[in-house]
Amino acid sequence: MSDEHQGEGAPRYRRRMRVAALRQREECCYDEVVFLESARLYRLMKQYPAYRSMLQKLRKAQLDAIPVTIGLESVEGDIIVEVREEGSG
């Protein structure tokens, strides 16, 4: 899959982490993602054109127990704007 930017706003910070849990929130405009390396809850916004692709990559990484690289808008940010699979670029 392409490594091009997938959300809104170019990622300014990237972090390699392993998915601990995905919490799909039907009533909300985002899903929550929990990573083993962080106590923070990260958000995957449903309005992003690549939402399904990013969610699929996160699910696969969780099932395969492999890390992904996520792109964030800032160091302190919690909104995921990019997901890269292990070994892709």
pTM: 0.84
Q: What value does the mean pLDDT take over residues 45-70? A: 97
Considering the domain boundaries, does residue 2 fall inside one? Answer: no
Q: Angle 69-38-60 (CA atoms, 0-180°, nearest 5)?
A: 45
Considering the domain boundaries, does residue 20 fall inside one? Answer: yes
Considering the domain boundaries, does residue 54 fall inside one? Answer: yes
Considering the domain boundaries, does residue 4 fall inside one? Answer: no
Task: List the CATH number of the domain containing 80.
Answer: 2.40.50.340
According to DSSP H, which parts of 29-72 are helical?
Answer: 51-64
**Tally of domains within the chain:** 1
Quote the pLDDT of residue 4: 43
What range does the domain containing 22 cover? 13-85
The larger pLDDT score, comparing residue 45 to residue 5, is at 45
Closest to 53 (Cα-Cα) out of 88, 77, 84:
84
The Cα–Cα gap between 41 and 22 comes to 10
Considering the domain boundaries, does residue 35 fall inside one? Answer: yes
